[in-house]
Structure 1
């Protein structure tokens, strides 16, 4: 959440949705050679819409990486709170990851 993000799509086909406050949302599709952009402070997710793996290179304009992920949010909340709000059994969340995995290659 502390940087703009650029993505260079190396292979595959992807769909990225970028969302902000007040209902702002945009969805675009990307192929190898395309460049995607996410402004600082906007949420986003990327879907593979092709038959091969999507490979992309991500660049940020801040040397200190920060993220707010769904995994972090779920891991930070008590299972009873999640179960009550999502109307599912509490043990639904027992095997959820509570740490984010970030790969650098």
Structure 2
């Protein structure tokens, strides 16, 4: 993901597997590249405790049951 900062300051922290994280500091005039992997929202929601998903997204168990815990590969 490429970002161009035209004013102000920003701090971005990217969290990865196994508790790894990297923090990037930017200021006006910086161009930043933030490396990331694609994630499956479907898989992420399926692996999140259902109580949290229901509380924050206001959806029911029937919809949560349709989420797949396996990431689908798009070719």
Give the structure-2-normalised TM-score.
0.48
Larger Rg: 2
Give the structure-1-normalised TM-score.
0.37
Q: Which has the higher strand share?
A: 1
